[in-house]
Amino acid sequence: MSLMLNCDLGESTHPDVMDVDALVMPHIDQANIACGLHAGDAEMMRATLLLAKENGVRVGAHPSYPDREGFGRRSMPLPSDALIAIVQSQIAELTQIAIEVGISVSYVKPHGALYNDMMANGHIRSAVMQAVSSSPQPLAFMLQATPDAETHRREAKAFDLEVIFEAFADRCYADNGSLLSRKLPGAVHSREMMLEQVAQLNESGTITTISGHRLSIQADSVCVHGDNVDGVAAIEEVRQLLR
């Protein structure tokens, strides 16, 4: 099956960023829409959902820790029940607006620190999965494709969740399949290296790690970033590669 493209959108009410979102949408398959706690608001959710509907793009909720000041990039040690409630409320808000504009939310992809914490901590991952599974409509769960994919698939099955494994177009990988910390040099690929990584993933199902090892990963979707005009041009190139 060919790789899909997903992108985080609806994260700013600034007109320039909203214009870029509109440019990104025709080139992607899945839009991860901010649910208001790290970015966005109800008006932005509605506008982004309408863009997705217009372009035939699948919609995912993009919940985060309640960290607007830090754009959801700061970890928060929350009890499981509190975390579950926070994720549930974000999914519910986006879902309600989606119903109003006539489009369905089909999956959930956590944002920022919540995503990173979830990948590193099984208890947090379980809490997020429980929140996703409690939604009235069936939702798939998007998480990073790693060598632990089968473990994550079994965990999701316990909550009756379908999983969508994603790879990252512009991020360098450590040898264990995790993303190289942004604090380290080389963590974010140049445009040329990004295109090489996507081409390799598409052709062989592998990526090359920071030390040069080829690592097999089971990816269904590739995350691209398009928060500026240059980013949109890069997404167009990735789209062409996958075609």
CB atoms within 10 A of CB 50: 15
pLDDT at 13 over 90: no
Contact 36, 90 (CB under 8 A): yes
Tell me how far apart the alpha carbons of residues 172 and 189 are, in angstroms, rounded to a whole number: 6
Task: Tell me what pLDDT residue 117 has.
Answer: 97
The mean of the pLDDT values for the chain is 94
State pTM to two decimals. Answer: 0.95
Task: Tell me what pLDDT residue 14 has.
Answer: 67
Per-residue pLDDT, averaged over 205-228, amounts to 92
- The string of pLDDT tens digits covering residues 107-150 is 999 999 999 999 999 999 999 999 999 999 999 999 999 999 99
pLDDT at 49 over 90: yes
Contacts 24+ apart (CB under 8 A), 234-239: 234/170, 234/191, 234/194, 234/195, 235/5, 235/7, 235/24, 235/27, 235/28, 236/27, 237/191, 237/195, 238/5, 238/169, 238/194, 238/195, 238/198, 239/5, 239/27, 239/28
Tell me how far apart the alpha carbons of residues 30 and 164 are, in angstroms, rounded to a whole number: 11
The pLDDT-based confidence of 54 (bands split at 50, 70, 90) is very high
3.30.70.20, 3.20.20.370, 3.30.360.10, 3.20.20.140: which CATH number matches 4-168+218-232?
3.20.20.370
- Domain borders along the chain are 4-168+218-232
